[in-house]
Amino acid sequence: MGFEGAEESGGTEVPQSRFRYNSPFVQVSLIGFVCFCCPGMFNALSGMGGGGQVDPTASNNASTALYTTFAVFGILGGGIYNILGPRLTLLSACSTYVLYAGSFLYYNHHKHQAFAIVAGAILGVGAGLLWAGQGAIMTSYPPANRKGTYISIFWSIFNMGGVIGGLIPFVLNYNRSEAASVNDATYIGFMVFMTVGTLLSLAILPPRKVVRDDGSKCTNIQYSSVSTEVVEIAKLFGNWKMLLIIPAAWSSNFFYTYQFNNVNQVMFNLRTRGLNNVFYWGAQMLGSIGIGYIMDFSFKSRRTRGFAGITVISIVSTAIWVGGLVNQLTYSRGDLPEKLDFKDSGSDFAGPFVLYFSFGLLDSMFQSMVYWVIGALANDSETLSRYVGFYKGIQSAGAAVAWQVDTHKVSFLTQLVTNWSLTTVSYPLLVVLVLLAVKDDSKADLEEISKEKEAAPSFAGPASEK
């Protein structure tokens, strides 16, 4: 007896619908909705600048603690995910988001940083586990020739959380003065969504239960061990493929501090920041869909598609950072601009708004491209969970440094030039990685699928959750 909806074809049970509960499409969509509720709402909270507070110091320090622990547990997260499986890993990880939002609700009343900083450190542990698991699911579950499409599906669902999350402070703080922090209802709204996401994580299946439409399984390994994971994670630091990814990983969250604190918070008033974030995260959806198409459909050769995607993003990136430089030359830390309002500022609002929208577009294109490159390096969940964990760990180390750079009042222009330089350095290294490590599709993918089918046990009986 096979899965419901399967039929006998030449002695092999082949799943028939992409909407099966155990299909890659449904599972990637589910992890998208988990991230919609948890990191999606976190992104909306961070995107307001200063965590919604007038003084960003508490948020900067909490973010530093967050990304410091995230750097460690991002790297360890892939191994922990392989040992515990998705449900226990994701359930514990998502609960830390609720605590973090709650710490700012507390800060609204007591103005004590300690709780926010501790909650940030705990969230770093949870985020490391969540993103390592999410990355493994997003890059290993899909068919090898459709990874860009599935990455864009995830990124669109996930960033809809930022869109909805941006509407929460926009609506709830529409008539509040610029001198005020966001109200309690804003933080409570974030906490409700995060709690839903925590419960939804229980719907994620372990990799060995997920079956692609061609009948292949995502992995046949049912258990891992601490010793195995320690050895495999240690090897990553000498893996030349991972070393080439380091500049892209370091830069991919480094620019958030500049964009959120030094553009959105500095240039716009409270209600307009919420509106801006609706469009910032909406732009992420558009960017991920566009780059997903290029990475999967632009050329027959997978390697050529990789080159095309990197080239397009490098051109778009340069244009956006040039626009950022033009905007930045109009103000500085010592000469702050008058706050812009979407209703009252007229044409002065348009340029900075389009720039902030473009930053969101670039973020999703850049990160989706890097995930595609990582996903092209392997097909099995165990390996990719470690690769993604390494990527997220280095990414978070960069972010931890970026938040402290801003806390120490480094000039806005220096931060912009640093961000521009870091992203630019990563492009030629990614080209080298694609050239040397990414195989052209068909033959390599068919061999991989054939091995998975030969090694796969019967689809008849569901294995137990590890």
DSSP for 393-439 reads HHHHHHHHHHHHHHHTT--HHHHHHHHHHHHHHHHHHHHHHHHHHPP
- 7 beta partners: 14
Q: Is residue 358 part of a domain?
A: yes
pLDDT at 464: 38
pLDDT at 240: 96
Give the Cα-Cα-Cα angle 325, 327, 333 (nearest 5 degrees): 90
Contact 103, 115 (CB under 8 A): yes
Domain residues for the domain of 91 are 25-209+216-455
Contact 243, 394 (CB under 8 A): no
pLDDT at 11: 41
Q: Please list, residue by residue across 25-56, b when 16 or more beta carbons sit within 10 angstroms of its beta carbon and e when fewer do.
A: bbbbbbbbbbbbbbbbbbbbbbbbbbbbbeeb
What is residue 13's DSSP assignment?
E
Q: Which of 168, 116, 82, 149 lies closest to 291 in space, CA to CA?
A: 149
Q: Is residue 6 part of a domain?
A: no
What is residue 178's DSSP assignment?
T
Residues 198, 96: Cα–Cα separation, whole Å:
9
Residue 321 — φ and ψ, nearest 5°? Answer: -70, -30
pLDDT at 12: 43
Number of domains in the chain: 1
Rg (CA), the chain: 22
Q: Is residue 149 part of a domain?
A: yes
Q: Is residue 203 part of a domain?
A: yes
Give the Cα-Cα-Cα angle 305, 397, 142 (nearest 5 degrees): 35
What is residue 202's DSSP assignment?
G
pLDDT at 9: 39
Q: Is residue 466 part of a domain?
A: no
Neighbour-count burial of 246, counting CB atoms closer than 10 A to its CB (0-12 exposed, 13-18 middle, 19+ buried): middle
User: Global pTM?
Assistant: 0.81
Residues 42, 294: Cα–Cα separation, whole Å:
29
Q: Is residue 448 part of a domain?
A: yes
Residues 440, 307: Cα–Cα separation, whole Å:
12
- For residue 414, give the CATH number of its domain: 1.20.1250.20
- What tokens does 225 get? 């061990």
Q: Is residue 156 part of a domain?
A: yes
Residue type, 317: S
- 14 beta partners: 7
Q: Spell out the per-residue pLDDT of the chain, length 466, in tens.
A: 333 334 333 444 445 566 789 899 999 999 999 999 999 999 888 776 555 554 667 778 888 899 899 999 999 988 898 888 889 999 999 999 999 999 988 888 888 888 989 999 999 999 999 998 998 898 888 888 888 999 999 999 998 988 888 787 788 777 765 555 677 888 899 899 999 999 999 999 888 888 888 888 776 555 567 888 889 999 999 999 999 999 999 999 899 989 988 999 899 988 888 889 889 989 999 999 999 999 999 898 999 999 999 999 999 999 999 999 999 999 999 999 999 998 888 889 999 999 999 999 999 999 999 999 999 998 888 888 899 989 989 998 998 899 889 888 999 999 999 999 999 999 999 999 999 999 876 555 555 545 544 444 433 333 334 3
pLDDT at 221: 55
Residues 320, 312: Cα–Cα separation, whole Å:
12
Q: Is residue 14 part of a domain?
A: no
